[in-house]
Amino acid sequence: MTVHLGQRLTGARREGDRVVLTTRDSHGRTHMLETDHVLAATGYRVRLDALDFLSPELRAQLAHTGGFPRLDLGLQSSVPGLYFTGIQAAATFGPLLRFTCGTEFAAPRLAGAVAQRTASG
């Protein structure tokens, strides 16, 4: 099995019992791949600027790395009182947070951080 990372899928067609994929790499070069089976990941990227329910001013205050907010151990962002869970927390805590099963990890940490913040001020 060959894995092709960093490729953007730009086309797919069936030729007989084979699949022909057209991809584009990060340098803009086009590649063709003929195969029997395909497993293509979506490559979803977190973009804080897409969270339009947060004001542009608030989003501008967020420290981030690669589109992900930087979080402390309580899942709090660089903006005091603003917490992230789910896929936005995956860069800090790992890919498990992208899924519902990550709730068992995130919920007690988030609840503890919010309770501590509430108690102290």
| CA distances (Å), origin 98, targets 7, 37, 58, 67 | 22, 26, 23, 15
Is it the case that residue 1 has pLDDT exceeding 80? no
Taking residues 104-120, what's their average pLDDT? 85
H or E, element range at 14: strand 8-15
Taking residues 58-83, what's their average pLDDT? 93
The pTM score is: 0.58
